[in-house]
Structure 1
Amino acid sequence: MTEVKPTELIFFCFMLLHGFVAALNCTSPTPESLFNSLEKELFPKKLIRPLKSFSNPINISIGITVVGIIGVDAKSQTLTTVLWQVLKWDIEGLSWDEKECGTGRVSVPREKLWVPDIHIAEFMDEDNSPKTPYVYLYNTGRVFDDKPVRVVSSCRLVIYTFPFDFQNCSLTFGSYLHFATDVRMVPSTTAEQILQESRQVLTTNGEWELADVSISNVALVLDVGDYSEIQYSIILRRRPLLYVVNLLIPSCFLITLDLFSFLLPPQSVDRSSFKMTLILGYTVFLLIMNDLLPVTGETTPLINVFFCISLALMVASLLETVFITNIQFSSSQYNAVPHWLSVLVLRYLAVVVCIPPKKKSNRITVFLNPSTGDQAINTNLSNISVIDAQAVPDDTPLVKPHPALLPAEPALEELRKLSRNLMAIRHQMDKHFQGSDTSQEWHMIGIVIDRLLFGLYIIFISVSFITIIVIWIWNNSYAV
């Protein structure tokens, strides 16, 4: 760093009292004459702010134009853009006559002037944009500094509505060292002008497009002082067509196939194998398309929830098919349906899924008795408990008939055997009808559960489609 001599300090203080720079006088309208005047009056004063008084702030007018949107990294939460940054400020007291000096604007090296230390607060990486060594200097004392900036900035990404999401990323411009009493930031253009110009020069046509731009004046308040800053909010919109074609439509096709699989007979083995094949295909589909999904630890995208629920419904439908198939082939071996399950499923859920409860038939067992003259035998036969034929011994007396009606001994023995056979047949028939009623009740429970899951599938698919369509319409209706 060059040492400042006492004579130069005295000269600077004198110039501050009488104006920072006096009007330039050119001996001829040539570049050499103008630069000699600048070298004499302006360039030696590049170390201090170009103002008459230290108490006055210098106004830095700033404007940006979004030239390119390179990409958004959801994992690192960063936004990469290319901007044109335009800074303007005035050098107090500097002026020259355009006719006398031959021009009203001249380019001078950047290092020959005082340049404000404007930076972006959200900067996350080094600026690799090409350097511009010159700035424009006008005859009114206005300095025009235009340069490209490649910005890798931090951005809090919200991907809950992926792929129909908007991202609001802020770029805050301000002086790194100077307080608001020294350097004051002023926007040079409106947000509408920035948006219109950016859309005209935007060169990239990738995943993101510029939706809107807003400007706000902010002040960073610290213990040491306040900083004047300008915050640009760049609202980006994702183009969802790629993800709709590659993710949502294939997933909806597989879910629709699983929905129509309910039309297959539940007792068919092909239904369970068909559902298992769909689950395998859906799992492979999710593994292949996993790279297209955003990776972030803050929020879970709604599309991930959609995929998880779809897979869960497929697994539930397969388990329900296994349950129904088991009922169809093995329900005769089950015990009676618990009362609470019968009431819950057959009385309430059956009404929900529009299956009317089946009326129970009052079955009456009729015993044929050729002997109609003996009232006592009919009464005793109707009151006998259900006894297996093997449990009835051969010498068990049935009733004691009237002595006058006693038949011959061989005929009596045949009647006893016939009575035991009839009771055994009745016992077997009761067991058969009781098992048939139990199987039918289990079968009805399976049908109700199958219809209930079918209804849940329809509701889920309808809600999913309506949600996707509404979000997509809202996405397209945003002011672009």
Structure 2
Amino acid sequence: YSGSFLYAIIDWSFGQKCNRHRIRTWNAEQRLICDLLDNYQVRWGRPVRNTSEGVEVRFGLQLIHISDLDEKNQVLITNQWQIYEWEDEALKWNPAHYDNLKDIRLPIKRIWQPDVTLYNYADTRLEEKRDVLAIVYHNGTVLWKPMSIFKSTCQIDIRRFPYDRQNCSMKFGTWTYDQSKVDLKFYRDIEKFDLNSYVKSNEWSIIGNRASRFTEKYDCCPEVYVDLKFFISLERRGGFYNYILILPCVLLSCLTCILFWLPPESPSKLVLGMNIFTSFFVLLLLLYKNMPSNAEHIPRIGAYYCLNMGMIATSTFLCTIVVHIYFRGSGPMPVVFRKVFLEWLATLFFMVPHTNTPEHHESYSLIPPNKAVCGGDKFEKFELLKERFKSLGDKHLRTTNNDPNDENIELTIEHECGQSIEDPLS
């Protein structure tokens, strides 16, 4: 509170009349300030001799730093210097009368100032250093450069995240003065942000910078108002997101391809599928934390995450059915399953049915189980089939008609073929 109290005392002292008895001991600058402020009685009136005249205010923005672009709240936070320049008829003097002094500094609260305001502000707590001293020249020109931290609204398009480009704008205009009273123009005809003192952002690059002057009539008032609109285009630096969103996505996509190479009856396929599904879900949560919840569009990378999760969920569902059929036990295949899997789907996937002959039965017992009919794996059913062939002893006995082993062989092969057709991507 001590700083505010001291500032109040200084402001009160400026508001008092100069002590003319001590004026001879002052220097030229002090005498000039005393003379100007004594004659500057009303600081709320426009500094013109004729009320029909207008004040030309030249306005510009010097961008210092882009603090943040909050995609979730759609707010652009920037650190800027505002530049104001206008002529004040009450602040003119002859330099020859004051030791050839051509400029002085005055507190802005003691003189008139334009009420230029950011229209599309996103926070009522506007942080401005409006107590900065104004530079006043002998011809009445006032130059004022307050520092500000603006929080402006910005429409965010997140479809190309994290390689997106955002277009933001800032609209400035006088709040109460129409064009006939205050005419707002660009400072030194610079129709863009001044980037001479700009400090580069780690996340955003400036790829577009321009400004335009507009005149507009509002429903509340019949007068014409002037506003200056500054446009800036930003491109995200996606280096950081390449490591936390893109690279894991590429690796998980490769694992998804490996998932479809596993045999459908393998339990490890279920485990791997659920692990990949969980990993994509974690990436989706990371993406959600940076995105607005009520956005009009969703990021394309988020749609890709959901597509992979859908494929893995479908594969896991079909794999569960295959495992259930595989371990259900021996028995004749239902007529409907035989019709669908061994005839229709087998024809669709160009799978040739086996020939049930004794010679083929003998060939099955001689090849390794992992190269059996329809791409089966080395599981207990083929081991059981192999043990049955070995127990026969004599190869000629396998040619006997009505051998019950022939029926078991046919049932086993039918089940293996049906499972392979049911999950053809495996």
Question: TM-score surpassing 0.5?
Answer: yes
Counterparts of 1:232 and 1:214, CA distance in 2 = 6
Give the counterpart letter for 2:421 in structure 1: I
Give the letter aligned to residue 173 of structure 1.
Answer: F
Give the direction of change, closer, same or farther, for the CA distance of 1:94–1:274 in structure 2 (3 Å limit): closer
**Separation in structure 1 between the aligned mates of residue 150 and residue 341 of structure 2, nearest angstrom:** 65
Return the TM-score normalized by structure 2.
0.71
Q: Distance in 2 between matches of 1:427 and 1:36?
A: 124
Q: Quick check: 1:248 aligned with 2:246?
A: yes
Give 2:167's aligned residue: 168
Q: How does 1:285-324 map to 2 (within 5 A)?
A: 286=284, 289=286, 292-299=289-296, 300-324=298-322
**Mapped pair 1:278 → 2:270:** no
**Counterpart code for 1:346:** A
Cα gap change, 1:235 to 1:208, in 2 (>3 Å): same
- Superposed displacement of residue 431, structure 1: 6.0
Relative distance call for 1:146 and 1:359 in structure 2 (3 A) is same
CA contact (8 A) 1:327 1:446 kept: no
- Whether 2:422 is the aligned partner of 1:446: answer yes
Letter in 2 for 1:122: N
Question: What pairs with 1:9-28 in structure 2 (closer than 5 Å)?
Answer: none
Deviations 1:442-480 (A, max 9, x none): 2452353x25xxxxxxxxxxxxxxxxxxxxxxxxxxxxx
Count of matched residue positions in the alignment of Structure 1 and Structure 2:
353
- Residue 221 of structure 1, aligned match among 217, 242, 247: 217
Find 1:358's aligned residue among 352, 357, 379.
352
Contact 1:57 1:181 in 2 (8 A): yes
Q: TM-score, normalised by structure 1?
A: 0.64
Residue matched to 2:53: 56
**1:284 and 1:304, CA in 2 relative to 1: closer, same or farther beyond 3 A?**
closer
Q: What is the SS of the residue equivalent to 1:298?
A: coil
| Partner in structure 1 of residue 85 of structure 2 | 88
Q: Tell me the residue number matched to 1:118.
A: 116
The alpha carbon displacement at 1:92 in A equals: 4.6
**What is the DSSP-based 3-state SS (H/G/I as helix, E as strand, rest coil) of the residue aligned with 2:114?**
coil
Looking at structure 2, the residues matched to 30 and 291 of structure 1 have their Cα atoms a distance apart, in angstroms, of: 64
Say which SS state the counterpart of residue 255 (structure 1) adopts.
helix
Partner of 2:395: none
Which of 71, 74, 78 aligns to 2:71? It is: 74
| Equivalent residue number for residue 475 of structure 1 | none
SS in 2 for 1:260: helix
Task: Decide which moves more: 439-448 or 213-222.
Answer: 439-448
Matches within 5 A, 1:403-422: none
Instruction: Give the secondary structure class of the aligned counterpart of 1:181.
Output: coil
Question: CA separation in 1, counterparts of 2:166 and 2:403?
Answer: 76
Tell me the percent identity: 20
Rg larger for: 1
Asked if the contact 1:180–1:227 (Cα under 8 Å) also holds between the matched residues in 2, the reply is yes
* Matching residue of 2:129: 130
The 3-state SS of whatever aligns with 1:162 is coil
**What SS class does the counterpart of residue 445 from structure 1 fall into?**
helix
Q: CA offsets per residue over residues 217-251 of structure 1, 9 Å max, x none?
A: 12331231221100112323332222221122123
CA contact (8 A) 2:63 2:195 kept: no
Q: From the superposition, tell whether residues 176 and 278 of structure 1 become closer, same or farther in structure 2 (CA, over 3 Å).
A: same
Distance across 2 between alignment mates of 1:168 and 1:446:
50
Change (3 A) 1:83 1:233: same
Question: Which residue type is aligned with residue 260 of structure 1?
Answer: I
Tell me if the contact between 2:265 and 2:419 (Cα under 8 Å) persists in the aligned partners. Answer: no
What does the per-residue CA deviation read over 1:402-448, in whole Å, with 9 as the maximum and x for residues that have no partner? xxxxxxxxxxxxxxxxxxxxxx9659689668746743652452353
* CA positional deviation for 1:86: 0.4
CA distance in 1, matches of 2:163, 2:213: 30
Structural RMSD (CA): 3.5
Q: Where does residue 346 of structure 1 map in the other structure? A: 346
Contact 2:204–2:234 at 8 Å: present in 1 too? Answer: yes
Q: Distance in 2 between matches of 1:264 and 1:174?
A: 66
Q: Which amino acid aligns with 1:358?
A: V
Q: Which runs of 5+ in 2 are unaligned?
A: 1-25, 359-399
For residue 141 of structure 1, give the secondary structure of its aligned residue in structure 2.
strand
Does structure 2 conserve the Cα–Cα contact (< 8 Å) formed by 1:129 and 1:148?
A: yes
Distance 1:277 1:133, change over 3 A: closer
Shift of 1:67: 1.4
Partners of 2:130 and 2:78 in 1: CA distance: 16
Write the mapping of 1:142-181 to structure 2, written as runs, cut at 5 A: 142-181=141-180
CA distance in 1, matches of 2:188, 2:51: 28
Cα separation, partners in 2 of 1:166 and 1:74, compared to 1, 3 Å: same
Counterpart CA distance in 2 for 1:103 and 1:344 is 101
Q: Deviations over 1:39-63 (max 9, x none)?
A: 465x135342122433333221111
Note the alpha carbon deviations across 1:95-117, whole angstroms, 9 max, x for none.
Answer: 44444432221112213321111
Contact 1:346 1:444 in 2 (8 A): no
Change (3 A) 1:92 1:298: same
Unaligned runs of 5+ in 1: 1-27, 351-355, 365-423, 452-480
Q: Could you tell me which amino acid in structure 1 is paired with residue 218 of structure 2?
A: L
Tell me, yes or no, if the aligned pair for 2:341 and 2:418 is still in contact at 8 Å. Answer: no
Distance 1:185 1:155 in 2: 24
1:91–1:342: structure 2 CA closer, same or farther, 3 Å change rule?
farther
